[in-house]
A and B are shown apart, each in its own frame.
Chain A
Amino acid sequence: MTPLSRARSRLPLLIFLTPILLWLLLLIVLPHFDLLRMSFRVENNSGDMVWSANNYLEFFREPIYWLTFTRTAVYAVIVTVLTLCIAFPVAFYITKVAPPRFKGFFSLLLLMPFWVSELVRIYGWMILLRESGVINHFLVAWGILQQPVELLYNDIAMIMGLVYTSMLFMVVPLLSVLDSLDDSLIEAAYDLGSNSATIVRSIIIPHAMPGIASGSIVVFMLSLGNYLTPNLMGGKNSLWFTEQIYNQFIASFNWNQGSAFGFLLLVISSLIIFIGLKLTNQQLSRVIR
C-alpha cells in the first residue's frame, strides 16, 4: 500500500471518529480538568479564592465524610458478592443446563426489566414493599401478620434494590465466559472420578474468573455511584457518598468541596478495584477483553 492510499483509507475513519473524539474531549475530559482545578480552590476568610488542598483534607478531618464513604464502599462490596452468588447459578443454568432452544428466551427474560428506566423499576419495588403495599396486603390477608410492617426504608431493602438493578451486568459477562467453557472438560473430570465440588472449584471457577472479575468491577462501580436506589429505597438511613457530593453541589453551593469528593470517589474506588484484581491474581487487560 502506498502512503497516499493508506491516508485515503484512514480519512473516512477519521471523519466518523471525530464526533466521538470531540464528545470525549469536550464533554468528558475538559470538564474533568475544570473539576480538578476547582477541587483545589478554597475560599479564604476575606472571600477570595486561593489554591489549597483543604477540600481533600476536610474529607479526612470530618468523620461523617469518610464514614459515609466507608459505609458506601462496604455496602457496594456486599452488593457485588451477593449479585455474584445469585448471577453465577443463573448464568450456568442458561449456558450449560437449559435446552439450547430456550437460551435466547432466558436471556431475553433477564433483559426485560431493563427496558424500563431504573426510576420506574425502583418505584415498582416501592409499591410492593411499602407499609400499605402489595406484599403487606397479602401477608395480612393470609393471616401471617396481624398488622402491616414497613419493609421499605432500611438497609436490606436498599441492598436488594441494588442487587436487582445490577444483576444483568453480572450475568452477561458470565454468560460469555461460561459459553466458551468446553463441556468435555467437565465430562472428563467426572470420568476421572472427581465430584461436583471439585469440578466447580478447579475447572469452572478458574475458567470463569475473567468474567467474574469484569462483572464484579461493573457491579461495584455501578453500586458505588448509584444515587437513585439508596435515596429512594434506603430512605432516612441511607446516606450514600454520591448524595454527599450532590449535597455539596446543590444544598451547600460548595462546588469546590463537591469536586474534591468526586475525585476522591474516583481515586479510592479505582484503588479498591486495583487491590481486588491483585488479590485474585487477575490482569486488567484480560478482564476487560
Chain B
Amino acid sequence: MKKKVLSLFIAGGFLFGLGAGANAETLELLTWKGYAPQSLVEKFEKETGITVKTTYSNNEEMIAKLRATRGAGFDLAQPSQDRISSVQEKFNIYQPIDYSKIDTALIIPSMLEAVKKNTMVDGKSYGVPHVYGTSGLIVNRKAAPDADDYTALLDPKYEGRVSYRLKRPTLIAMAFAGGTDPFALYGDEAKYQELMEGIGQKLIDAKGLVKTYWTNGDALLQSMRSGEVNVAMAWDNGGWKLNAENPDIDFVAPKSGALGWIDTFAIPAKAENVEAAYKWINFMMRPENAAVFTNAEKYGTASAGAIEFYEADVKANFERSFTKADIDNIKWYPPVPAKLEEIEGKILDKVKASN
C-alpha cells in the first residue's frame, strides 16, 4: 500500500511538472549575477505583465547550456561580445538580432557599431551591447602601495596575499604585462600556443604566492575586506564597491592596460518568447533604468542618456581610477577564434594541477 501511495505521488508530481510551465507569459533570462536587479525586474513585471525568471551564469556555462539544448530553454542570454561569433559559427545557438525592434537611439552609437561588427556571422549580427567594464587590479593601498601592474600578482613581496581567477583574462593580462600583444597573435595558433605556454610557466612558478584562485566575486570581496588578500585581478566594479567601505582599497587601471569587455544581449536560436526578449532589452536600455542598474552595481552601461541619472560617486569612481591615458590604453577584446580556448584550457589545467 505504501508503495502505491508513493508511486501516485511520483506520477502526480510528474504531471504537475508538465502542466506548470504552460500558463502566464514568462521571460527566461540567462545572465550574470547582478545584471537583473530586483527593483527593475519588479518594475518590468508591473509594466508588461511578463514574469522574469533569471538564471545566473558566466560566459563558459552560458555557451555550454545553450549548446546542450541547441539554443532552447532561454529567451535571452548575455554573453560577452568577443565570445559570440566563433561560438555561433560552430554551434549555431543564437538567432540574428532584428535591430528594427530595438530602440537604437537609446544606445551609445559607437558601442552599438563595434558590437554589431564583432558579433557578425555571414552578414548578420547577433548582439546588442548592454554593460561594459574592465578587468584590472583591486589593491589595498596600505599593504601594497606600489602595485600598479599585473606583474604585482607574481611579486614575492605579496606572498600569500594575491588572488586571481584561473580563466583566460588572467592569461591575456599576463601577456600584456610581459610586453606581448596576445590579440595580435589570435590568427597564429602556433605562436599563440608558445606565448601561452610561457605564461603558464610563469603562473606555475608563482603559484606559491597565491592565496587562492577565486571563482566567486563576492567571496573575493570578502577576502579583501578581511585583509586576507591585498592584490587581486578582478573587475572594476568590485574595487569601487570596496572603496565605498574602505578608502584604502580601490580599483587600479594597470600600466599595461585594463582589459575592456562588453557584455551583450543575444537571443538563443530556439527562444520561445522573442517579443518579451526585445521588450526587456528596450526596457533595460531606457536611461532611467540603466542608471538604476549602474548606481547599484557600478558597471558602465551602453545606454546613451543614463549618465544624467548617475549618482555622484559613480562618476568619481571612474575618474579616480582612469586617467585620460588609462582610458586610451584599455585593451578591448576582439572576437576569440575557436581553437584558442582549447589551448588556454589545457594550460589553465596545468597551472591548477602543478604543485
Which residues of chain A come closer than 8 Å to B61, judged between CB atoms?
Answer: 250
Complex CA gap A235/B228 in Å reads 14
User: B348, A235: Cβ atoms under 8 Å?
Assistant: no
Q: Which of A17, A237, A254 contacts B355 (CB 8 A)?
A: A237
**Given that A237-B355, A252-B342 are known contacts, is A150 also in contact with B211, CB under 8 Å in the complex?**
yes
Chain B interface SS verdict (over half): helix
**Given that A132-B226, A150-B211, A236-B207 are known contacts, is A252 also in contact with B352, CB under 8 Å in the complex?**
no
Closest beta carbon of chain A to B9's beta carbon, Å: 11
Complex CA gap A148/B211 in Å reads 14
Closest beta carbon of chain A to B17's beta carbon, Å: 11
Contact flags A243-272 to B (C-beta < 8 A → 1, else 0): 110011111111100000000000000000
Complex CA gap A251/B87 in Å reads 13
The answer to the question of B210 belonging to the interface, with a C-beta cut-off of 8 Å to chain A, is yes
A126 to B, closest residue via Cβ: B219
Within 8 A of B (CB), among A99-131: 130-131
Complex CA gap A214/B84 in Å reads 48
**Given that A16-B11, A253-B63 are known contacts, is A247 also in contact with B349, CB under 8 Å in the complex?**
yes
A67 to B, closest residue via Cβ: B353
User: B346, A252: Cβ atoms under 8 Å?
Assistant: yes
The answer to the question of A153 belonging to the interface, with a C-beta cut-off of 8 Å to chain B, is yes
Q: Which of B87, B342, B350, B352 contacts A236 (CB 8 A)?
A: B352
The answer to the question of A78 belonging to the interface, with a C-beta cut-off of 8 Å to chain B, is no
Closest beta carbon of chain A to B218's beta carbon, Å: 11
**Given that A150-B211, A254-B342 are known contacts, is A64 also in contact with B228, CB under 8 Å in the complex?**
no
Q: Which of A68, A132, A153 contacts B353 (CB 8 A)?
A: A68
The answer to the question of A239 belonging to the interface, with a C-beta cut-off of 8 Å to chain B, is yes
Which residues of chain A come closer than 8 Å to B14, judged between CB atoms?
Answer: 19
**Given that A236-B210, A239-B353 are known contacts, is A16 also in contact with B3, CB under 8 Å in the complex?**
yes
User: A250, B350: Cβ atoms under 8 Å?
Assistant: no
**Given that A19-B7, A19-B10, A235-B213 are known contacts, is A248 also in contact with B353, CB under 8 Å in the complex?**
no
Which residues of chain B come closer than 8 Å to A152, judged between CB atoms?
Answer: 212
Which residues of chain A come closer than 8 Å to B348, judged between CB atoms?
Answer: 247, 251
User: B4, A153: Cβ atoms under 8 Å?
Assistant: no
Within 8 A of A (CB), among B286-340: 338
Which residues of chain B come closer than 8 Å to A235, judged between CB atoms?
Answer: 212-213
A residues near B, CB below 8 A? Answer: 12, 16-17, 19-20, 64, 67-68, 130-132, 150, 152-153, 231, 235-237, 239, 243-244, 247-255
* Top-9 shortest CB links A-B: A252-B345, A16-B7, A132-B226, A235-B212, A239-B353, A251-B345, A250-B60, A239-B352, A252-B342
Q: List 29 A-B contacts (CB under 8 A).
A: A16-B7, A19-B7, A19-B10, A64-B350, A64-B353, A67-B353, A131-B226, A131-B228, A150-B160, A150-B211, A150-B228, A152-B212, A153-B211, A231-B215, A235-B212, A236-B213, A237-B355, A239-B349, A239-B352, A243-B352, A244-B349, A247-B345, A247-B348, A250-B61, A252-B345, A253-B87, A253-B338, A253-B341, A254-B345
